[in-house]
Chain A
Amino acid sequence: MDEIFGIPIPLLFGQLLLGLINGAFYAMLSLGLAIIFGLLNIINFTHGAQFMMGAFVAWMLLSLGSADAARIGLALLLLPLVVLLLDWLWLKLRLAQPIRLGLGVFVSAAWIAACFLENGGPVARALGAMFPNGLSYWWALLIGPIVVGASGVLLERLMIAQLYKLDHLYGLLLTFGVGLIIEGIFRNEFGSSGLPYRIPPELSGAWDLGFMFMPVYRGWVVLAALILCLATWLVIEKTRLGAYLRAATERAELVQAFGINVPLMITLTYGAGVALAAVGGVLAAPIYSVNPQMGVNLIIVVFAVVVIGGMGSILGSILVGFGLGVVEGLTKVFWPEASATVIFVIMAIVLLTRPAGLFGRA
């Protein structure tokens, strides 16, 4: 059999492919981070928790009919979306800011209190009654990003927006803390060993490629990640909205002077970045065990990807995400013990030689 450095070539091909699949996750997550950093100058350390929330929403949707925890959890996660929609309604009704705030607090308090009633309260019971068989993976792909994105929008409005005047470090500390709190809450509710989530029947099975057995689902992940990355890149680089966004990054005051609602744009950008993390979470749910720590391990690597690609560079994070996935895959063959470290070695080298990252502007 043909070999390279003592490794059979078919095995090597398999590893390259697997690396590409893991790279798809890195690319998707680092893309969201890059967008948020590029436009908001916020280093979003909550990203891992938001990725995890995406996976949990997928599990909750599927288990609506069978698990109390799923019903109650989803009812609570729907709260940010409900508050945002109501707030939008109140804005249309021209209610004054303090009244909107008061109403929002009241609705939230009532909603949360209702979820702690017996049997999860009216919302949870209604969810269970409406969907006794749960909602499938495909619904999760749609609903997950919306629900988690809405929580991101609320987080940006209520907390992160207060920090734009200050140094980056404050945003980093805030988002890091919020991430730890979210993970802690999920750990207390769901434990650490994770929840079962099966591959959707449409995507189960595998192709025999000769040199390896390629699960259909992993192929789908790569495809979905490529589509998402490409679409995001096109929106930001080739559309009018993207032009506004890029302009707002350079000179927010000037863009605002042209009559564009920059704060709204920033909020929605953060929401979109978070939604991307949630999509990643839903895609990851059938492969990795759905557990509260699933974002922790990934997020550190993803930060390295963003740093290597150049903070805020979208193309950089996509290419480096896939590239590092492949490098990591190869390390797993040649020196498995170092596979968790290799990315950081590369990061150190890149920072020493090109401090702005491979695709960043100094």
Chain B
Amino acid sequence: MTIDRRRLLAGAAAVPLLGALPMRRARAQAASTIKLGVLNDASGHYRDIAGPGSLACVRQAIQDFGSRGFTVETVFADHQNRPDVGVNIARQWYDQDGVDVIIDVTTSSVALAVNGVTREKNKVFLGSTPATSDLTGAQCSPNGIQFTYDTYMLAKSTGGAMVKAGGDSWFFITADYAFGHALERDTGNFVRAAGGRVLGQVRTPFPGTTDFSSFLLQAQASRAKVIGMANAGADTINTIKQAAEFGITRRGIKLAALLMFISDVHALGLNTAQGLVCTESFYWDLNERTRALTARVLPNMPQGLRPGMGQAGCYAAALHYLKAAADMGVAQAKADGRAAVARMKAMPTDDDAFGPGSIRADGRKIHPSFLFEVKTPAESRGAWDYYKLLQTTPAEEAFRPVAEGGCPLVRS
């Protein structure tokens, strides 16, 4: 077949017309459609603590929320733990793709950047896996809520318990970015407040460190009783594995996993992980509601992972936002992110992940935190039966008091 010029021109002219049709329909739909964007690390160190599991939990929340006269869509992207990539995706989502809410955002450095963009665009940012307590402190925003945990909560629960058990001198192995620094700072404060001493710290490049033996030897040489691991994911796994290899723990030095997730315990195996103490705000086998949530979402979790606290937090965040949006009207929730967040703060929360709770003025969602000890292989009665509960910190005490955070929203 020969294509003459006229037909070619006609064809070229038709392309934009065709393209415009579905777009116009999308606009018409958009008025009553809420678009949730799940942004996290889908290909790196933090994939298993967030990744596609967070998306599965957000979708579960949409399903559990049911239909209330508007539709909810999800989009998903990988920020590769790079703030520049995260900011670009956030801008594109807000400016072009009609995303109303960004959920999750693993990695504190990326989360702080996305927090800024969200405020500028007057949308909503619901952080679940970023840990830095600065999100509700100096950098708190009227457009943001931090759901699951933060460095203060982890530091208070794990750090406090370790000092109480006699671990009064500390050395930190810290991932060299916003999260590691915040966790080291918050834990150090607790250790000193309880009468302990911080003997030193070493900052490890992130990402890109696989061998921690050198840092472990430095920690050992400091003669500290506790090595605080202010890192997460594969870094924590490698540190624990290599500490066992170099006999650090056999010499009576305690390891404090300041941020450890159940997927990390699974990756380590109970033989290596047994006896470690860690703090989480969610455990799949905690009570009837958490077990029910886990049973619902499990078929959609990648690689049969049990949901961790970060992913459960995404569930709670999405569910509570949808409740608030239904309450205030979809059109207004979409138009004004600040108003939507204000409504979320005004409403009490209740979900299968954390039970009843509330959101403070500084954007901190509060609920109890749990100190767990990893079971020995003999104690574990089945797949993913990993934790025994040591101690519960009630919601009012688990997080940093509003006045101490220095959040500008509260002062004014």
Contact = CB atoms under 8 A, between A and B. Distances in A.
Interface of A: 8, 10-11, 14-15, 18-19, 21-22, 184, 187-196, 198-199, 206, 212-213, 215, 217-218, 287-289, 291, 293-294, 297-298, 329, 332-333, 336-341
Contacts of B238: 288-289
Contact of A11 (B204, B217, B241, B264): B217
A341 B207 CA distance: 12
B214 A193 contact: no
Given A192-B51, A212-B217, A336-B203, A187 B247 contact: no
B245 A199 contact: yes
B217 A193 contact: no
Interface string B191-221: 0000000000011110111110111011001
B161 interface: no
Nearest to B247: A213
A298 B272 CA distance: 24
B217 to A, nearest CB: 5
B332 interface: no
A191 B221 contact: no
B238 to A, nearest CB: 6
Q: Which 10 A-B pairs have the closest CB atoms?
A: A192-B47, A196-B269, A340-B205, A193-B48, A193-B267, A332-B214, A340-B208, A191-B303, A213-B247, A194-B267
Interface string B32-49: 000000000001111111
5 contacts: A15-B217, A193-B49, A215-B246, A289-B237, A336-B205
A194 B237 contact: yes
A291 B234 contact: yes
Contact of B234 (A189, A289, A298): A289
Contact of B205 (A215, A289, A337): A337
B385 interface: no
A302 to B, nearest CB: 12
A132 B375 CA distance: 26
Contacts of A340: 205, 208-209
Contacts of B189: none
A338 B209 CA distance: 11
B272 A196 contact: yes
Contacts, number: 124
Interface string B259-294: 000011011110110000000000000000000000
B134 to A, nearest CB: 20
Nearest to B211: A22
Nearest to B264: A193
B221 A11 contact: yes
A170 to B, nearest CB: 25
B393 interface: no
B208 A215 contact: no
Contacts of A339: 204-205, 209
A36 to B, nearest CB: 23
Contact of A337 (B176, B213, B264): B176
B305 A191 contact: yes
Contacts of A22: 211
Interface in B295-327: 302-303, 305
A206 B267 contact: no
B47 A191 contact: yes
A213 B246 contact: yes
B405 interface: no
B303 A189 contact: yes
Interface string B165-179: 000000000001000
A289 B241 contact: yes
B233 interface: yes
A196 B267 contact: yes
Interface in B219-247: 221, 233-234, 237-238, 241-242, 245-247
Nearest to A196: B269
Contacts of B305: 191
Contacts of B268: 196, 289
Contacts of A341: 205
A184 B52 CA distance: 14
A266 B213 CA distance: 39
A218 B216 CA distance: 15
Contacts of A14: 214, 217
Nearest to A190: B303
B267 A18 contact: no
B214 A18 contact: yes
Contacts of A21: 213
Contacts of B215: 332, 336
Contact of A8 (B43, B51, B204, B221): B221
Nearest to B246: A213
Interface in B42-63: 43-49, 51
A199 B272 CA distance: 11
A18 B213 contact: yes
Given A287-B241, A340-B208, A340-B209, A193 B266 contact: yes
A219 B193 CA distance: 43
A327 to B, nearest CB: 12
A337 B214 CA distance: 13
B245 A192 contact: no
B43 A198 contact: no
Residue among A184, A288, A336, A341 with the highest chain B CB neighbour number at 10 A: A336
Residue among A11, A196, A218 with the highest chain B CB neighbour number at 10 A: A196
A192 B42 CA distance: 9
Residue among B204, B210, B234, B242 with the highest chain A CB neighbour number at 10 A: B210
B165 to A, nearest CB: 24
Contacts of A332: 202, 214-215, 218
Given A11-B221, A288-B210, A337-B203, A193 B245 contact: no
A91 B215 CA distance: 55
B267 A289 contact: yes
Contacts of B251: 213
Given A192-B46, A196-B268, A329-B214, A297 B263 contact: no
Residue among B203, B208, B215, B269 with the highest chain A CB neighbour number at 10 A: B208
Contacts of A191: 47-48, 51, 263, 302-303, 305
A215 B249 CA distance: 13
